[in-house]
Chain A
Amino acid sequence: MRQRTRKAFLGILFLSPALVMVSIFFLYPLFKVVMMSFQKWQVLGASEFIGLENYKEALSDNEFWKSLWNTTIYAAIVTPMIFLPAIFLATALKKTSKKTKFFRTVFFLPYAISFVAASYMWKWIYNDMYGLLNYALISMNLISQPINWLGGTWSARVMVSIMVAWKTLGFSMIIIIAGLQGISPAIYEAARIDGAKKWQEFRFITLPLLRPTIILALIISIAGSFKAFDHFYIMTQGGPLKTTQTIVMYINKIAFDYYNLGLGAAISVIFLGILLFISYMQLKAGGFSNE
């Protein structure tokens, strides 16, 4: 018995650094953001409880809905741009050899680069006067005039998404490769004996067995898209006319430019709810819920 209490004591002791940090910098702020969202929060002086006023203000605010819409559209554009190539590359590179290892490293490499550096690298490529992209397209006679890629709403969304796909698809590829390597080769052999064609193998074996892996990679990727901040902040500053302002940019503006902390807290809570809902739906779709 004494042995057991000693073990439990040590268990708590060893866990305490993480516990202390989590309590102070996660649980307390989580509690606090909910509290603040019901308050008219004053930087100086007493804060008063105002019920759902902040939420009403957020939901009747056009800019809130616009930012949410911009973020959703961006997620809808960038997700297929990441996953279609990632699935293709993963299938092509699933066997391990010197050659595939080289390609994997090349496609995974941009993942190590920061969003800030990547944003400037691509902003330079997209530059309307001296950029590589306009030059390439003009010399191939695909366009006649240089285009201001980040100046239009839709082209800005697509061009930022291309940068993000370049930077992050290697990560999805690596996860999918790990999933592919987990599928037993015996299943493919059996299918081949039954005369299955390559696309049938992909459609009826690879895709269904890979579903949990793809869902997991999707959750990480879509949650990441909803958290987008750095690249829009740098490449478009939310423009033109706030059409690429994301929800996190909006929270940042309300809270740290306008100092409306109560409203900012309410939007943060809504944002958190949306992200948890997305993860929950995808976990359910992946069949993880009964585990």
Chain B
Amino acid sequence: MSKTVLIILIIASFLFLLAIYWTIFTSFKPPQEVLTYPPRFITTNPTLMQYEKLFTASDGIFLRYIGNTFLLCGLSIALVLVQSIFGGYSLSKLSFKGSNVIFLIILSIIMVPYQSLLIPLYDLLNKMGLLDTIPGLALIYSTFYMPFCLFMMKNYFSSLPVALRESALIDGASELKILLKVHLPLALPAVATTVVYVFLQTWNDFILSLIFTSSSDVRNVQVGIMNFATSRFTQDWGLINAGATFSIIPSILIFLLLQKYYVQGMTSGTTKG
């Protein structure tokens, strides 16, 4: 790496992190220091006032949003794992006549944006009585986040030797046992990628929560931040930055912890074939 390139990289990463830093920093400023010109880069009295306001406003509704979102993430992850572990195993080890066609249909979901299906999905949830409910939203998330995970899981199982299944069969193990006790422990990286991927997608979703939910018992944290930002006549930037900061902590933490798996899964999904 040449000196010039290194200097460009250092400046670029400084600017990249500046945006994040500025939000976090603003959230710890006392309210009277937020709206100042010139902006203050140092504060003599950092405070948690913005967070206090964030968590106590409207009877602690923000914590409700956070709780809803964790619940949505947990449900979606569970639903995607069931579909992609069993489905991926079936497609790689138990392929039957027609299973390739099914695989192609599942993959085609990646090409079809759910944004084009908002209207029939709304109608469907409405008829099922699942509009404005957490399970309803989780069912939709898991359907559209599943194909990439199933594809990855299938690739992972396919890379394991056939003999693994055959010798277990000879030992008299049931198919379910072969999957859960023999194959799954070897596919933990793919499971980890699925968890990170679905968590980030669900945690960061905005449009589906905006359209398919309306009550604060169900809405997620992203719509919650927007509600905080638009519910007052003037935008309270201290509060907005506190909300933004708090909402990015889980995604950044899980991303940093499991980055290795995430990158592996992403790149094996996109560069194969």
The finding on whether chains A and B are genuine partners in a shared complex, rather than unrelated, reads: yes
| A25, A93, A252 interface centre (most CB from chain B within 10 Å) | A25
Beta-carbon contacts of B96-113 to A below 8 Å, as 1s and 0s? 110100100110010111
Contact B113 A272 (CB under 8 A): yes
A-B pairs with CB below 8 Å: how many? 265
Q: How far is the CB of A252 from chain B (nearest CB, A)?
A: 7
- CB <8 Å contact, A30 and B20: no
The answer on a CB contact under 8 Å between A124 and B26 is yes
CB-defined interface of A4-44 with B at 8 Å, one 1/0 digit per residue? Answer: 00011011111101110110111111101100100000000
Provide the residues of chain B in CB contact with A84, threshold 8 Å. Answer: none
Contact indicator B270/A264 (Cβ below 8 Å): no
Q: Which residues of B contact A28 (CB under 8 A)?
A: 120, 124
B226 touches A30 (CB 8 A): no
CA A255 to CA B87, docked complex, whole Å? 34
Residues of chain B within 8 A of A13, CB atoms compared = 90
Is B72 located at the chain interface by the 8 A CB criterion? no
Among A226-280, those with CB < 8 Å from B are 226-227, 229-230, 233-234, 248, 251-252, 255-256, 261, 264-265, 268-269, 271-272, 275-276, 279
Q: Which B residues lie within 8 Å of A174 (CB)?
A: 263, 266-267
Q: B14's closest neighbor in chain A, by CB?
A: A106
Verify B117–A268 contact, CB threshold 8 A: yes
Q: Restricting to B212-231, which residues have a CB under 8 Å from any CB of A?
A: 222-223, 225-226, 229
Q: Of residues B5, B16, B79, which shows the largest number of chain A Cβ atoms within 10 Å of its Cβ?
A: B16
Q: Mark B214-252, 1 if CB is under 8 A from A, else 0.
A: 000000001101100100000001001101100110011
Q: Point out the residues of chain A lying under 8 angstroms from B267, CB to CB.
A: 174-175, 177-178
Scan residues 46-64 of chain A and give those whose CB is less than 8 A from a CB of chain B.
none
Distance from A222 Cβ to chain B, minimum over Cβ atoms (Å): 12
- What sequence of 0s and 1s flags, for each residue 133-147 of chain B, a beta carbon within 8 Å of any chain A beta carbon? 000000110111010
- Most B Cβ at <10 Å: residue of A32, A108, A124, A223: A124
User: Contact size class for B?
Assistant: 35 or more
In whole angstroms, how far apart are the Cα atoms of A103 and B6 in the complex? 10
CB neighbours of A213 from chain B (8 A): 270-271
Q: Complex Cα distance A122/B26, Å?
A: 13
A124 touches B22 (CB 8 A): yes
Query: What is the minimal beta-carbon distance from B209 to any residue of chain A, in angstroms?
Result: 10
Does A196 belong to the interface (CB within 8 Å)? no
A218 CB, nearest partner CB in chain B, Å: 11
For residue B42, CB closer than 8 A to chain A, the reply is: no
A65 contacts the other chain (CB 8 A) = no
With beta carbons under 8 angstroms apart, the residue of A24, A107, A217, A223 that contacts B113 is A223
Q: Are B143 and A130 in contact (CB under 8 A)?
A: no
CB A102 to nearest CB in B, in angstroms, measures 8
Interchain CB contact (< 8 A) of A268 among B89, B96, B116: B116
Is B273 on the interface with A (CB-CB < 8 A)? yes
CB pair B206 A32 closer than 8 Å: no
Q: Is the CB of A271 within 8 A of B116?
A: yes
Contact between A265 and B105, CB atoms less than 8 A apart: no
Interchain CA distance A157-B267 in the complex, whole Å:
30
* A179: interface (CB < 8 Å): yes
Quick check: B102 and A26 within 8 Å, CB to CB?
Answer: no
B91 at the interface (CB under 8 A from A): yes
A33, A93, A230, A291: the one within 8 Å of B207 (CB): A230
Binds B, one of A75-83, A111-119, A201-209: A111-119
| In the complex with contacts A120-B240, A127-B237, A132-B39, A265-B120 CB distance below 8 A | yes
Q: A33-B119, A112-B251, A121-B19 are in contact. List 18 more A-B contacts (CB 8 A).
A: A14-B94, A14-B179, A17-B86, A18-B146, A21-B139, A26-B143, A30-B117, A33-B117, A112-B255, A113-B248, A121-B241, A130-B34, A130-B237, A230-B207, A248-B115, A251-B119, A252-B211, A275-B112
What are 26 of the A-B contact pairs (CB < 8 Å)?
A11-B96, A17-B86, A26-B112, A29-B121, A33-B119, A85-B12, A93-B9, A103-B9, A105-B256, A109-B16, A109-B20, A109-B256, A110-B20, A113-B248, A114-B247, A114-B248, A116-B206, A130-B34, A130-B37, A139-B38, A213-B271, A216-B270, A220-B270, A256-B211, A275-B111, A291-B273
**Could you list which residues of chain B lie within 8 angstroms of chain A, going by C-beta atoms?**
1, 5, 8-9, 12-13, 16-20, 22-23, 26, 34-39, 79, 82-84, 86-87, 89-91, 94-97, 99, 102, 105-106, 109, 111-113, 115-124, 139-140, 142-144, 146, 150, 175, 179, 200, 203-207, 211, 222-223, 225-226, 229, 237, 240-241, 243-244, 247-248, 251-252, 254-256, 259, 263, 266-267, 270-271, 273
